[in-house]
Amino acid sequence: MKHLYIGGYGDGILTAGAGLTPAPAPSFLAAHPALPVLYAVGELAEGVLLSFSTAGGVPAGTGRRPSGGDSPCHLAVHPSGALLAVANYGDGVVTLHRLDGEGRFTGEPISLPHTGSGPRPDRQRGPHAHQCVFHGDVLHVPDLGTDEIRRYTLTGEPLEPVRLAPGMGPRHLVFSGERVYVAGELDGTLRAYAAGDWRELFRVKASGADGVTYPSHVDVSGGRVYLLNRGPDTIAVFSADGDPLAEVDSGGAWPRHFAIDGGTLWVANQNSASVAVFTLAGGVPGATGEIIEVKSPACVLPVQAKPYARGRAPGDDGRLC
């Protein structure tokens, strides 16, 4: 059985078909790889990090701690389930949080501040960490403010950052085989790099539509690259080599995030208070007409239900993590 969780800038996390769990601006969600535990950022000036048990399907709060920065916008759990990383957009600080065997926060977080700027004074006066991606045992952080992919070991030791095109404004990336695809929010591009040496392989416009485009989320499925475009409000589909294959309406306004599971694609359209549902027959999104109404959605997360090996959920002893 799978559950669909939707986070955003409203009053909580929506479990599709089941109800709302109160939470402060839970704009991004991540699931523990082995346990029925869900994590969320609270995108506030004094950011928070939240944990929930999903043993009953609908998230039930189990823990809360500061995110360690301003306006956390993304988080990711290492495949081992022992480490969680948070990107704080407002001040660019990345934090690492250890997790115990039941998915609880444990120990003191590691804070990874950064400095730098870019050529766009309206958006790049300072660092803006936008995403956390574990690839192997290296944490990769696209920094929209400094035009870099910041890199760290699992203990927080900084590695040499990857410097990208000035003014690109990297937002989200995805590794796929020997390639890395990066959405450039500020220059409206999709770029691919060799995963080993970060040599640029191609650069293409994110959208074929006229006007300004702000790409948001990128992912790969079935050998195709999918990219959301705010402005024209579309889902663009490319081949692995960057050839444009299709571009369809996102089903709403200001598409911020999408998720693919099997033959279904969900798009969180932030400014139309809706999640649009698509099929992926032939690899091209086809609108089903189904809409999930939810206030200001920013993240969609389908999760396979998982049992607790020990038969109880974190927080069953009445304590917060």
Q: Which amino acid is at 203?
A: R
32 phi, psi to nearest 5 deg: -65, 140
First to last CA, the chain: 27
Residue-wise over 31-44: b if at least 16 C-beta within 10 A, else e?
bbeebbbbbbbbbe
Distance, CA of 64 to CA of 74 (rounded, Å): 16
| Ordered per-residue pLDDT tens for the chain, 321 residues | 899 999 999 999 999 999 999 999 999 999 999 999 999 999 999 999 999 999 999 999 999 999 999 999 999 999 999 999 999 999 999 999 999 999 999 999 999 999 999 999 999 999 999 999 999 999 999 999 999 999 999 999 999 999 999 999 999 999 999 999 999 999 999 999 999 999 999 999 999 999 999 999 999 999 999 999 999 999 999 999 999 999 999 999 999 999 999 999 999 999 999 999 999 989 999 999 999 999 999 999 999 998 875 444 444 332 222
Closest among 28, 41, 102, 1 to 297, alpha carbons compared: 28
Distance, CA of 241 to CA of 179 (rounded, Å): 10
**Cβ neighbour number for residue 119 with a 10 Å cutoff:** 12
What are the Cα distances from residue 79, in Å, to 87, 99, 137, 152? 17, 12, 9, 16
